[in-house]
Structure 1
Amino acid sequence: QFNPVKELTILLNGQYNGAGPNAFNRIGDIIVNYANSDFSLGAQYFLNGLTAGGTTLKRNGLSLNGWVALVDQLRLVARYDMYTPNADTKNTSFSNSTQNLILGGLDWSVRKNVHFMPNVEYVAYGLSGSKPDVLARATFFISF
């Protein structure tokens, strides 16, 4: 983890797991986040290569998220995720359709550790003929 300034965090992660002569997993990601009392912006990108039994999956994804303070105790929040479960177009054993998620909502801090978050989630699937999902929800959580 690297913090060039107080508000900025950069994290690099990587690992390699061998599970025998014909199976291994490679994972790498980078996370960048800038936050202060008025707003926060973050991004994560990951690569994951999984090989088992001679078949390789090359997965990757991107996540962007942020919030901006509207007034005291109320924030506008947003998130975008892109996930490709199989970026290797030569491997047709698994789907290579990209999935996209867009989320937007409000974060109302009822108390210091109590939040109420009405939000809308939109998920688009890269499969031919598939229709996107739209979900409205209200999230309530308490942090201890």
Structure 2
Amino acid sequence: MKKRIALLCAALFCLYLPTALAQVSVGDSGTLTGRVFTDYYWMAQNHDSDLEGKNGFWMRRIYLTYERSFSEAFSSRVRLEMNSAGDFSTSAEMIPNVKDAYLKWQNDRHQILAGISSTPTFGLTEDVWGYRSIEKSPQDLYDFGSSRDFGLSFKGSFDNDERLNYHFFVGNGNSNKPEVDKGKKVMVSLGYYLTEHLVIEGYADLNDQENQDIKTAQVFAGYQSETFNLGALYSFQHRESDIIGGDPTTELDLVSVFSNMRLHDSLKGFLRVDHMFDPYPGGSENSYIPFAENVESTFIVGGLDILLEEQIHLMPNIEAVTYGEDSTGERPDMDLIPRITLSYNF
């Protein structure tokens, strides 16, 4: 019986092989790439006593991306994403979801993307920060917006030198998930390179949801070079809600300053500080690093980036969160999370 099963598997493999080789042979115009970042974490100290002492391994992200060029004008991308739950309770296996799925048209300076694609909310911030493998950008970490949306995106440069750039997006306002209401989200950013290395950007959005309207405005300045990056962000968000039992109006102010520097050919250092002047709504549900709610918070992360091989990075780092006092004068304990992060591309 075992022999018959082995012969059947061999026959199926022989039938499948020509198809597999045919699929791979289209690689002249398409590429398949991947990215992984994973941690060993230790909740050395936490405002939630149930989390204190927890430790282990998790996959914070796995990306698989296929990109295909049809012509000089048209191309497409499909990206799948999967990750561990990060809620310290779910033990289910990782399930892939669609991160990107779009068709792009472009000429020399302008692009139009249709489908699920990157929003302008924090794309430039994340580029200058440069360490998505360590932590989300400030706006992403505090849920000021999503990195993706489903809709139409228009982006490009107004000048031949590509100093004045724009990104306009009309989407569902529900990230990469299906539409669930009648409203839409409109996002726009305008960036200007003062020099080759120094850029400033203004951003605004309006998200018309069924039970609340959300408006965001922010300014960002960044410096980028091969040896040193520096970024400074201020973001403001106004939320009006008619949900019964909820706050009718919520205003959030966020500031962030971050930097990374090359210390040696195979060694870099990074440091970032975020401060929320208002309580973080829903912060206790944040994946991988739950925040105490109803208090101000300051988030700090720093570490080293060791280049083991090209595309392979080992990054010891520490995340910490300190809190202000609540309405009763109590101050939650500080969160302290030492980690070893491994990031690699293929």
Structures share fold, TM-score greater than 0.5: yes
Match of 2:249 in 1: 56
Match of 1:66 in 2: 259
Match of 1:118 in 2: 316
TM-aligned CA distance change 1:10 to 1:143, over 3 Å: farther
Match of 1:3 in 2: 193
Query: Cα deviation per residue 1:55-81 (whole Å; 9 max; x = unaligned)?
Result: 100011111110111111201110101
SS at match of 1:129: coil
Equivalent residue letter for 1:129: R
Stretches of structure 2 that go unaligned for 5 or more consecutive residues are: 1-190, 281-292
Stretches of structure 1 that go unaligned for 5 or more consecutive residues are: 88-93
The answer to whether structure 1 residue 75 and structure 2 residue 268 are counterparts is: yes
- The structure with the largest alpha-carbon Rg is 2
Asked if structure 2 preserves the Cα contact closer than 8 Å seen for 1:43 and 1:64, the reply is: yes
CA distance in 1, matches of 2:309, 2:255: 32
CA distance in 2, matches of 1:9, 1:112: 28
Asked if structure 1 preserves the Cα contact closer than 8 Å seen for 2:323 and 2:331, the reply is: no
Aligned ranges 1:37-48 → 2 under 5 Å: 37-48=226-237
Query: Cα deviation per residue 1:40-62 (whole Å; 9 max; x = unaligned)?
Result: 11111110100011710001111
The answer to whether structure 1 residue 100 and structure 2 residue 303 are counterparts is: no
TM-aligned CA distance change 1:112 to 1:44, over 3 Å: farther
The answer to whether structure 1 residue 23 and structure 2 residue 225 are counterparts is: no
CA distance in 2, matches of 1:69, 1:18: 43
CA distance in 2, matches of 1:82, 1:28: 17
Q: Aligned-pair distance for 1:17?
A: 2.7
SS at match of 2:226: coil
TM-aligned CA distance change 1:69 to 1:136, over 3 Å: same
CA distance in 2, matches of 1:6, 1:99: 35
Equivalences, count: 136
Per residue, is there more helix in 1 or in 2?
2
CA distance in 2, matches of 1:30, 1:143: 31
Match of 1:135 in 2: 337
Asked if structure 2 preserves the Cα contact closer than 8 Å seen for 1:34 and 1:40, the reply is: yes
Asked if structure 2 preserves the Cα contact closer than 8 Å seen for 1:57 and 1:86, the reply is: no
CA distance in 2, matches of 1:9, 1:49: 26
Equivalent residue letter for 2:318: V
TM-score, with normalisation over the residues of structure 2? 0.37
CA distance in 2, matches of 1:107, 1:137: 12
TM-score, with normalisation over the residues of structure 1? 0.84
CA RMSD, Structure 1 to Structure 2 (Å):
2.0
CA distance in 1, matches of 2:192, 2:337: 37
CA distance in 1, matches of 2:308, 2:317: 16
Q: Aligned-pair distance for 1:86?
A: 4.7
